[in-house]
Chains A and B, each alone.
Chain A
Amino acid sequence: MHKTFVHLIKIELKKAIKNKFFVTTLMVGSIFALFSAWYMIDSYAAFEHQNKVYTNNGNPMIQQFSLFNHWIGGEAFSLGYTLFFTLIPLMAVLPYSWSYFIENKIGYVKSIVTRSSKFQYYLSKYIATFVSGGLVVLIPLIANILIVACFVPAITPTKLYPLYYAVDHGSLWSGLFYTHPIIYVLLYLILDFVFAGLFATMSLAVSFFIKNRIAIILIPFFFILILHYSRTFLAYIYYNEISPLHYLHSTAIENYANGGMVLTQGLLFFILTFGITMKLGVKREVF
């Protein structure tokens, strides 16, 4: 049984990553990340030039600009950042979230569950969907940080320049940002991977209720946009970030990321998506 599951998960992961949707979405995400890198490297070069011309004496303000406010997760003013972070819920679902709907439609599910079990099939489907969604977001982020790091020094941020480093006291992992920024960035990469994976599994869960491929793929995107819009109603009432589109970004965009809120939303998304997939999947008759 264990061997069958390992084999099944290998097949699912291979299908999830080696398909044209994954490659196309990864390319699009990478283009957004490269746009951001290009823009930020260019603006850093402009700053360097300005620094040479105007600051012959006094504080050169070297810590003002560093890798940690120039990579796509640290800057919030380039077109690349805008496209990448707004479209994360859409990019995450495109590679493989639709697969269960198609496999159920063409009868592939039947041939798999007769050779393994429903539990194994749905668990491997959930893992593969999660991984594909996470990777399609994680890889461009890593590519961006590596490219930017080739041009912009990784100087440890300082609280002396709060305008340039929007990570305040009480914000998620803020202590790490000013002491071990590399670990902070790594944690954010993991957070982005996890949430992108969860967005992808939202589509999988939705496919148990809706029989329209386009709706299955777009519902999580609209859900996250509506959640983002609901921030409007909490203005001047609640000062922590509730929108994943903002808290997946390592520096604050409007409100600060609260660990409790991030954990609560993450757990809620996981319980709902995993619960629906495993409970309905195992319970539902495939024949």
Chain B
Amino acid sequence: MDESTPAGTFIDYLFSMFAGIKEYVPSMTDEFLIPVKWLLLHLFILYSTLYYPSRDLSSLGINILIRTKGRIIWWISKCLWNICYVLVVYLLIFISVIIFCLIMKEPISLNINPMFVNDLLEAESPYDTFSNQLVYIILLFPMFLSISLNLLQMTLSLLIKPLYSFGVMAVILLSSAYLFTPYLAGNYGMPIRSNHVVENGFTFSGGILLFLILIVGSFMIGCFYFRRYDILDMEENK
């Protein structure tokens, strides 16, 4: 390695994993390239939580529902399971990166290298230094995005088949990568699009607000719908 090249830190590696892609400006001479690493990460988490809630509802869940006599409790338990699952996945990712840094003797620090952001991630950032808020965005926003989309997917699975629900999530993620808009949650899940990296980027507060709306909205809609949900019909159609 060149002596002038600084070592990548723990947060640099996480940034590289969760970065996403910078804003795409459609042009006939510039093809859109999907951020496949970012997409795979989120889709894999969505896939791993797709089967369990619906399977549980059409098997053991019916007995639990009869015994506990509380549909809302069952729904809350599934939401909590979903959140815990995502937290564990991200914890494993963080631990893996720490182990990688230890093996490669890279510093385990939260200092972002501007060279790394501009040269490797090609972020074209006008900033020479990055605020601490970007560190929180890198650590938290991809996780919040996963939690929001997982809850939304579970709620949608009550209305449409789980596989179509997964398809809708894939469309949301792809649309987020393509469209640079604050109304698509995926944009906040790409730290490279933060206002700490690019001038017209998305704000921390905007991200928190959208994730809260998604999480609370999915939970409430799920609660409301699940109270009247025909579980026996689901059992027949499984």
Q: Is the CB of A222 within 8 A of B44?
A: yes
Known: A81-B32, A82-B178. A28 touches B167 (CB 8 A): yes
Q: Is the CB of B170 within 8 A of A76?
A: no
B17-43 with Cβ < 8 A to chain A: 26-34, 36-37, 39-40, 43
Q: Is the CB of A90 within 8 A of B170?
A: yes
**Bound form: Cα–Cα A229–B35 in Å:** 9
Contacts between chains A and B (CB distance < 8 A), count: 76
Whether a CB of chain B sits under 8 angstroms from the CB of A149 is no
- Residues on A with beta carbons closer than 8 Å to the beta carbon of B113: none
Query: Please, what's the 1-or-0 string for B168-189, where 1 marks a CB less than 8 Å from any CB in chain A?
Result: 0011001101110000000000
Q: Is the CB of A225 within 8 A of B31?
A: no
Q: Is the CB of A82 within 8 A of B29?
A: no
Q: Is the CB of B31 within 8 A of A229?
A: no
- The prevalent SS among residues of A at the interface is helix
The distance from the CB of B107 to the nearest CB of chain A, in whole angstroms, is 25
User: Interface residues of B, CB < 8 Å — how many?
Assistant: 30
The residue among A163, A218, A253 with the most chain B CB atoms within 10 A of its own CB is A218
Whether a CB of chain B sits under 8 angstroms from the CB of A79 is yes
Known: A87-B167, A229-B40. A164 touches B51 (CB 8 A): no
**Bound form: Cα–Cα A115–B118 in Å:** 66
Q: Is the CB of A217 within 8 A of B163?
A: yes
Whether a CB of chain B sits under 8 angstroms from the CB of A123 is no
Whether a CB of chain A sits under 8 angstroms from the CB of B100 is no
Q: Is the CB of B27 within 8 A of A77?
A: yes
Q: Is the CB of B162 within 8 A of A253?
A: no
Q: Is the CB of B29 within 8 A of A164?
A: yes
Query: Please, what's the 1-or-0 string for A53-81, where 1 marks a CB less than 8 Å from any CB in chain B?
Result: 00000000000010001000001111101
Q: Is the CB of A77 within 8 A of B162?
A: no
Q: Is the CB of B164 within 8 A of A24?
A: yes
**Bound form: Cα–Cα A226–B43 in Å:** 12
Whether a CB of chain A sits under 8 angstroms from the CB of B81 is no
> B residues engaging A (CB < 8 A)?
26-34, 36-37, 39-40, 43-44, 47, 50-51, 162-164, 166-167, 170-171, 174-175, 177-179
Closest A-B pairs by Cβ, 6 of them: A76-B31, A77-B26, A229-B36, A163-B29, A253-B31, A214-B51
